[in-house]
Each structure stands twice: as C-alpha cells, then as structure tokens.
A and B are shown apart, each in its own frame.
Chain A
C-alpha cells in the first residue's frame, strides 16, 4: 500500500513539474502560433488588399442556412465595414465554393474560387482564368456579370452567379439594405 502511494506521489510530482514547464513554454509560443494562424486565415483578405489590422473587431458566423457557409465581419468599433462570405453554389459536377468580399456600400471588393470539382479543361479552366467582371459591382445588381465570354461552361457560370446572388441577399441583411 505504502509502495503504491509512493509511486503515485512520484508520478504526481513529475506530472506537476512537467505540466508547469509545458505551461511556461505554451505561454510564450501560443501567441506566436495564434498570430500566424490568423495571418494564414486572413491571407485571402490580404491578397485582396484589405489591411486586417485596420479593423478592431473581427467576428465569424457560421450558422447560416441559405448557402452561405461562413461569414467574417470586419468592424471599426460597432460599424460593419467589410463582410467576407464563403459561399457554396451548384457547379456542373459538384458544389463550388467561393470567397466573396463585400464592403459597406455593397460593392464587391474581390472574389476567389476556394474549391470546385469542375471538369478539367472546361469548367475548371473557366474558373481558373475567366474574369466574371464582378469586382467593383454593387450588389444586388448583377448586370455586369460576364458569362458570355465563357460559354463553354454554362453550368459552372450559373454556379458562380448563384454564389453572387446568395451573397447579395445575405449582404443586404448584414448591411441593413444599404445601397
């Protein structure tokens, strides 16, 4: 009995010492890891020329039911300035996922294709190279949407358009029907 207690005590002391040391290391490394992870997370925004550090309140929302997978809201104080939507639309082969950035005036600041399973050489090429002429468009107006110059992939184009429509509806709610 005494031996078992002694062994338990030895392991307990060792556990406490090791736990403390790990806590100290974690105290110094965790902020560095978190900063880097945020940097990676918002890399798409940085590519679109958004300076993440300009916004003091960044929140995420994921409980949508309207095709929006996730939204990141960038606020200055309480004012919502930019919304970044990850949206899923129906492509030719499967769903395609887009990242669409909209500012407070409902202007599309940029978009990028996050993932798709379109046909290589047809829909995939269109997504990789075609400019849908939506940067600068003010939602919900989609008249500038250019699907004409990529007629080989009508369903892919329809999927992309669908993404912008979903984002237009959500952005109207988020920005309080601005425009």
Chain B
C-alpha cells in the first residue's frame, strides 16, 4: 500500500464512522453544530496521529517491543490517556467555550474505538511514519464524517452553519422564502440518529448498486 493509499483509505473506503461504524457516541452527541465537529475532529486528529506514532515507536524496535508486548494494553492506555489530558488542558486554556460544549466527550476520546483500534490493529505492526499517516487519514475521515452529520443537523435544525465562534452563515432566509421554520428535532439526539441512519442507508444503497452493476457486467461478459 502506498503512502497515498494509506492516507486516503480512511476518507471513504475504510471510513471509521460510515464504514467501520466506530466512534458513534460522540458522532451522535456533539454534532449539533459544524463548529463542534471541527473541534472534536482537531482533538481526535492530534490524539490519533500521536498515539499511533508513540505506539509505533514503543513497538517498532524488537528489543523494546519484547518489553512492551506483555503489557501493551496498559501501555497504550497510558499513552492515549496522556495525549487526551494534554488536549483537554490545551482546549480548556485556549478554546474554553468549545471545551465546555464538547464536555465529557473530550476525556472520552481515551475510550474512542478509533484510537485504540488503530493503535492495536495498525500502529503496533507498522513503522512510525506509516502509522502517523494512517492515524491522520483515519482522523480526517472521521472528522469529515461528523462534519457531514453536523452540517445536515445544523442546517435542518437551526438554519445556520456555525464554522467557528461568531463566523456563522445564516440560511434562515431559505426557510423564510419557503414560509416554514427549521426542524428543531434535528438538534436533539433523535435528529442525530435519523441523520446517521439516513447516511448509512444511502451508503448501503450505493454499495448495493455498485455490486449489482458489477454482477451485471460479469453476466454480460459471460453471455458474450
């Protein structure tokens, strides 16, 4: 696998949220605004890249690997938890509003399946640079996925797109033009489930269509 393929596999093919269905709790809980999704994505990117790097560093050299492997789970947890605490302290200091909005989901990055999954499934057996690329690709893929969910929810639920702080696009004129109002339900947890389920259904439909086309093509080849 080339570095490029390694990086981009997390975007669509192996997307952690839409394909592997990992990290669903924060994806459903914090996606009321695009800003939340971006903030969570940046935090996850930092933790995922550096946890993959550190896990790879402590398992790459055979001598160190022999020491670490018997206690690899606590080692991974200590490394990931330390990175999450760093993110928590930095966010609390420099972006307090976002820190309060994301709330418990920042410390819960420690138990986010994506982080631990990549550490165990990829970084433990690959070189540091490859692991960092994998971590970045997966984290960006996850971020894009939660950005899509948050965009749908915020536009339908509030008629706005909050990019960061006061930088906000107000799309309520569309609702005014249509003589209706945003659907507040989309800002509630139920709206998150609807959006997530709908996106998964669309992806499944596209996959089925792709498979059907491939089957038809094979069948046509067979007829010829």
Q: Which residues of A contact B (CB under 8 A)?
A: 3, 6-7, 10-11, 14-15, 18, 21-22, 25-26, 28-30, 32-33, 36
Contacts and interface: CB of A to CB of B under 8 A. Distances in A.
A33 B85 contact: no
B82 A29 contact: no
Given A15-B78, A21-B86, A10 B68 contact: yes
A11 B96 contact: no
Contacts of B70: 3, 7
Nearest to B68: A10
30 contacts: A6-B67, A7-B70, A7-B71, A10-B67, A10-B68, A10-B71, A11-B71, A11-B78, A14-B75, A15-B78, A18-B78, A18-B79, A18-B82, A21-B86, A22-B82, A22-B85, A22-B86, A25-B85, A25-B86, A26-B89, A28-B93, A29-B89, A29-B90, A29-B92, A30-B89, A32-B93, A33-B89, A33-B96, A36-B93, A36-B96
B74 interface: yes
Given A11-B74, A26-B89, A33-B96, 9 more contacts: A6-B67, A14-B75, A14-B78, A18-B82, A22-B85, A22-B86, A33-B92, A33-B93, A36-B96
A22 B88 CA distance: 11
B123 to A, nearest CB: 16
A11 B82 CA distance: 13
Interface string B18-35: 000000000000000000
B177 interface: no
B32 to A, nearest CB: 23
A108 to B, nearest CB: 32
Q: Contact size class for B?
A: 10 to 19
A18 B54 CA distance: 11
A32 B90 CA distance: 10
Contacts of B93: 28-29, 32-33, 36
A9 to B, nearest CB: 8
Contact of A14 (B79, B85, B86, B89): B79
B173 interface: no
Contacts of B86: 21-22, 25
Contacts of A15: 78
Contact of B75 (A6, A10, A22, A30): A10
Q: Top 10 nearest A-B pairs by Cβ distance?
A: A29-B93, A18-B82, A32-B93, A29-B89, A7-B71, A25-B86, A33-B93, A10-B67, A33-B92, A7-B70
Looking at A3, A6, A7, which has the most chain B CB atoms within 10 Å of its CB?
A7
A26 B86 CA distance: 8
A14 B57 CA distance: 13
A119 to B, nearest CB: 26
A90 to B, nearest CB: 32
A25 B89 contact: yes
Looking at A3, A10, A32, A33, which has the most chain B CB atoms within 10 Å of its CB?
A10
Contacts of B74: 11
A25 B79 CA distance: 15
Nearest to A26: B89
Contacts of A33: 89, 92-93, 96
Contacts of B79: 14, 18
A26 B82 CA distance: 12
Interface string B44-87: 00000000000000000000000110110011001100100110
Nearest to A19: B82
Contacts of B68: 10
Contacts of A22: 82, 85-86, 89
Contacts of B89: 22, 25-26, 29-30, 33
